[in-house]
Amino acid sequence: MLLGCIGDDFTGSSDLANTLAKAGMRTVQYSGVPQGPADPQVQAGVVSLKTRSIPAADAIAQSLKALEWLQAQGCEQIYFKYCSTFDSTADGNIGPVAEALADALDARAVIVCPAFPGTGRSIYQGHLFVKDVLLNESGMQNHPLTPMTDPDIRRVLATQSSGPVGHVDAATVLTGAQAIRARLDTEFAAGKRLIVVDALQDADLMQIGAAAKGLELVTGGSGAALGLPINFGITARDSTSWTGEHGKCIVLSGSCSIATRGQIAHHKMSHPAMEVSADMLFGREITAQTAADWAMNAEGLPLVYSSADPEAVKVAQDKYGRDESAEKFEHFFADVARMCTEQGARKLLTAGGETSGAVVEGLSLTQLEIGPEIDPGVPALRAREGLVLALKSGNFGSVEYFEKAAKILDGSQP
């Protein structure tokens, strides 16, 4: 294994695995830290963790365990993957995990670059933009678990880190890889180990990747990994064949992002949908079994969702507790997924990082084969014989994503 990756959630890990596979690396996504050695043919291993919203100490411990396994596979470089909207809080976990990994690797300059212009995420003067608005105006300021109210990644990272945060500005990035590497070295010599790097276009990410050659640790969204495979002499190859699965497909959504809520509104116009609220779950008006039975008996492409606007989410959190609400919904979706597959569902679509992580863990999936890209950042995945799925980050996907994904999982053209 050449490149070892540690993802802080399952949808982001799929996004990264998709990026590396398209760039030509033989890539496998693992659910949690594997127990045994990897297939020696794997060039990039992506260990998917569920550490984005847990206590920082626990996130560090799990990430270091993943690092130990990846090092045992012979990895020459480590990549720490977090969300392209830098989902985190003042207490972590991006800064603490990045510093712990850097300490364990005795890493020099560590790139921090959540940008992926191809999906609308760019960084200018250290500020993160989502399409044409700053991060804190994109809807992410209302995220139920990791509200992002400051678009300055340098400032956010500084609150989580023990040392000063460096910066490579856009003017330097546009000059190319050599200039980027020189500025990284200068910032590190000045005592700044974590260094935010601007990126305005995907071509910038290729230059950043070239500048990262030989660095022990790189961190970012999936975009910053675009230029890494070529450092190992790997270039894009023809897509591998994909065989989908026929049969029942179920959509499960716990994401409250603006993009997912738009996808749900579009989907409901022509497909059956069941909305599940916190009051319904805590009041036992609905159970995982009743939801699974409904989904399996519904026609078309049924959707079970808890996605709500920020005001409704806040009311539920105030009433039942933020962590208690999140845990309740995660267990619910995991159980629905398990019950549906037991009843014969062969395709699952999930929306939202926490929801996707809960479903993968609930189904005890250990390894995911990367298939064709559905929408930017979202690949089709084979979990095992008779089961394929797609794990979508809340902010990703076109408005007709659910229908498109179902066709690709079926093996049909979108």
pLDDT of residue 414 exceeding 50: no
Token digits of residue 164: 């000063």
Please say whether the beta carbons of 23 and 231 come within 8 A.
Answer: no
Q: How many residues does the chain have?
A: 414
Nearest Cα residue to 43 out of 31, 27, 30, 24: 27
Strands 303-305 and 273-275: parallel
CATH assignment of 249-410?
A: 3.40.980.20
pLDDT of residue 149 exceeding 90: no
Residues of the chain with CATH 3.40.50.10840: 3-232
Task: Match domain 3-232 to its CATH number in 3.40.50.150, 3.40.50.300, 2.40.50.100, 3.40.50.10840.
Answer: 3.40.50.10840
Place of tokens 């809340």: 394
Residue 413 binned pLDDT confidence (cut-offs 50, 70, 90): low
pLDDT for 239 equals: 53
Mean pLDDT of the residues in the chain: 93
Measured from the Cβ of residue 372, the count of other Cβ atoms closer than 10 Å reads 18
From residue 283, how far is each of 277, 313, 316, 411 by CA, in Å?
10, 16, 12, 40
Residues of the chain with CATH 3.40.980.20: 249-410
pLDDT for 231 equals: 96
The residues, ordered by sequence, that sit 6+ positions from 57 with a Cβ below 8 Å of its Cβ are none
pLDDT for 322 equals: 85
pLDDT in tens, 355-389: 999 999 999 999 998 999 999 889 999 999 999 99
CA angle 147, 377, 243 (to 5 degrees): 135
d(Cα 186, Cα 182) in Å, to the nearest integer?
6
d(Cα 288, Cα 373) in Å, to the nearest integer?
30
Helix, strand or coil for residue 131?
coil
pLDDT of residue 55 exceeding 80: yes
Selected residue with higher pLDDT from 79 and 397: 79
